[in-house]
Amino acid sequence: MKKFFISITVIFLTIGIFSTTSIVKADDEVSQLFKDFIDECFNDRDNVTVYLGSKDVTDDFFNKYYNMYSKGELLAINNAIEFFNYDITHEIDTLIPSTKASTTRSKTFKSYETKTVNGNKKEWTTMLYCKFTYNSSTGNITSISNPQLNVDFGECGNAFTPRFLNVSTGKEQIGRLSVKYTCSNDVEATYDPPFLPASTWDFGNCSHSYTLSA
C-alpha cells in the first residue's frame, strides 16, 4: 500500500512538472510571442536598441545573431538573450495628425523580458505608450501625457496565471523637445497544477527608461 501511494505521488508530481514546462522547447521551437518580437526587431532594426548593462550593443547584437536568425535558429537567440541579459527595445512610431496649433509626438516602446524561476522559463513583452504635444511655431512642449503601460504574457502555460502589479510610471521633460519616461512593475504568477496546492511564483521587477524626442 505504501509503495502504491508513493507511485501515485510521483505520477502527480510528474504531471505537475510537465504542466509547468516553458513554451520554449529544446527542439528549436520558440513561443509565438518571442517569434513575433524578434521578427519585428530584425525587420525594423533601425528602430531597435539593444543594451548590455549601460552599454549600447545594438550593432554588435545584430551582427552576431543575424546568421542565426536567417537560419531560423531562434532558440539559440532566445537563450542568449536570457544568458547575457540583453535589454532589447523596439520603438514603434504612432502617427497622429497635426494641426496648425500643435504637433503630437508619440511612440510605443516594446521590450522583451524573460526569466527562469524554479527551472521554468517564462517570457512577456512590456509596452509603454508615450505622447507629448508641442507648438511647432515656438518649438515648446505644451502638454505631456501620462505614459500607459501594458504587458503581454502570451501563452504562459496551462498551470500558470501571470499578472503584473505594483505599477509605477513617470515623465520628465529633459530638453526643449525631449521627454524621459520611466516604468516599473513586478511580475508574479499563480501556479495551480492538478492535485497539488497552489503557490505564487515571483518573477521579480521590470523597470525601463525611455526618451522620446521631436
pLDDT, position 99: 72
Q: Where are the beta strands (DSSP E) in the chain?
A: 48-52, 55-56, 87-93, 103-117, 120-135, 140-144, 148-152, 160-175, 178-191, 199-213
d(CA 157, CA 91): 28
Check residue 12 and give its pLDDT. 39
Residues 6+ apart with CB under 8 A from 158: 19
Contact predicate 172/144, CB 8 Å? no
Cell of 127: 509596452
pLDDT score for 4: 38
CA 132 – CA 116 distance, rounded (Å): 36
Instruction: Please give the pLDDT value at position 97.
Output: 73
Q: In what order do the strands lie in the sheet with 199-213?
A: 160-175, 178-191, 199-213
pLDDT in tens, the chain (214 residues): 444 333 434 333 333 433 333 334 433 589 999 999 999 999 999 999 999 999 999 999 999 999 999 999 999 999 999 999 999 999 999 877 777 678 999 999 999 999 999 988 899 999 999 999 999 889 999 999 999 999 999 988 889 999 999 999 999 999 999 999 999 999 999 999 999 999 999 999 999 999 999 9
Rounded to whole angstroms, the Cα distance separating 11 from 34 reads: 32
Q: Where are the domains positioned within the chain?
A: 2-213
pLDDT at 100: 67
| C-alpha–C-alpha distance, residues 177 and 173, integer Å | 8
